Structure 1
């Protein structure tokens, strides 16, 4: 991994003071395969490389590797940690060796999702309707990578609600392809999903109520970094702390990437269409 030089380059005095960035502007960003993570990682790769002369490597890894890699300095930063519940178990072993920075998205959702035409409203009702949700030979909940936090929480849900279901783990795209097929035939299907996600713009979906609260309350998304990044590159830290997105801005970014089928192309198009918002993050950091 390429690490920052600790030598800083003064860029000059601006209206709000001195702004400094690292001499060696090489960064490795740890990513995972969630749709919003892919979207914002490629957005920042393009912004930093094409407009601020950074050299960015995106490294797609599992959750456990991501956190251990940040703690050991193999990655410089990662753009997504859900707190206070979802990602807390991944952070806990490295709490003193990972710097959690500012919130950039508020009010996430997480849980079991069905098409709105499904005659069900609560996770508890799945037990009585199990036969309607058969997939590959038995009642099933379609999920993503088994190492994801939502997969572990879903195992807890199956146990807590005594559901006669198996969780089928695969990739996010594979799960969405199965949901798309069921939706087009207006068949029941239950999947693990989260907000923000482009699926809620493409399909009429609903979360099943979770009266036991296994999935927790709405959370916020922060970015995190290896220790010392704020000292090595205070300008970048300020920019990322100034970064904020909401359902509209993040949803349109993910939708553009899904439409183009290319994360970099979609992110670049979105940046061009949202120049005022993007510039505000840079201006806020500089000011």
Structure 2
């Protein structure tokens, strides 16, 4: 919405000249998880909604169960989620009380990755090069979905490598150290992430399909949100953030910016794209 028009409307409301639809409090309660793939989508969509005149209140949750419970209860109205695989249990359990608003991005993938100088292409090639990898695959936090899939890959491919449990920070440090020395290393990784860009890591082919295929992100909401908030729904539906842009925003954060600063820079650099999003609105 043009900021001058928005100012005129605000003045009309203050003078009592606007109708009830304009006088209502346009606050959107948005939930998110503080993960590097979700926070850029949340931040960009928040900026777009605010440019349309909404006030956006963002609540961060620590895990999907709490986030979905808050959405169903109405403590938050919308959030972005991967509903195909990563959070499909929570979506399936609650979808009768929720609605899918619009796709927000596509391409989330997780698997086993190696630096680009490593001369193998497939998970099937790990065994014959096990010694070069120190007979291990460097993992992240135990219990993560990625770790469960990596354990399944070791079983299905009959790999003679140990999956090392640890933390995301520990895996990142191991990857950096190996790349600095151009040593062979295999890690559990995901896309989008700044690590794939910074360390030029690539995923090994998975011919048996152990790892889930590329997944989409969707804005979801409590049932009835779109009908009750058509203007907000149209603004949200216009937003689509490519995986590469999510990774680039996080790379800027890793280089020292705050997430708010990185999102603001992205929004400024993509003003023409955001204008095209706004021109797609139908209200």
Structure 1: runs of 5+ lacking an equivalent:
1-9, 13-18
Map of 1:243 onto structure 2: 239
Q: What is aligned with 1:81?
A: 82
SS class of match (1:111): strand
Assess if the C-alpha contact under 8 Å between 1:113 and 1:192 holds in 2.
yes
- 1:47-79 deviation line (CA, Å, top 9, x unaligned): 445763414223132133333332333332222
Separation in structure 1 between the aligned mates of residue 27 and residue 244 of structure 2, nearest angstrom: 31
**SS across alignment from 1:101:** strand
- Report the TM-score when normalising by structure 1: 0.78
TM-score (normalised: structure 2): 0.79
The gaps in structure 2 that reach 5 residues or longer are: 1-8, 13-20
Q: CA RMSD in A?
A: 3.0
Choose which of 11, 27, 33 in structure 2 pairs with 1:25: 27
Q: Is the 8 A contact 1:22 1:233 kept in 2?
A: no
Cα distance per residue 1:129-185 (max 9 Å; x no partner): 334334xxx723323x445432332232233223342242424x5533332222112
1:58-207 matches, within 5 Å, as 58-83=59-84, 85-134=85-134, 139-143=136-140, 145-146=141-142, 148-163=144-159, 164-171=161-168, 173-207=169-203
Deviation at 1:24, TM superposition (A): 4.6
Alpha-carbon deviation of 1:89?
Answer: 3.1
Alignment coverage as a number of residue pairs: 265
Structure 1, residues 74-128: CA drift from partner, whole Å, max 9, x if none?
Answer: 3322223152x44323322223223223222234433111101123222133234
Rg (Cα) greater in structure: 2
The structure in which a higher percent of residues are helix is 2
Instruction: Select the structure that is richer in strand.
Output: 1
Q: Secondary structure at the match of 1:285?
A: coil
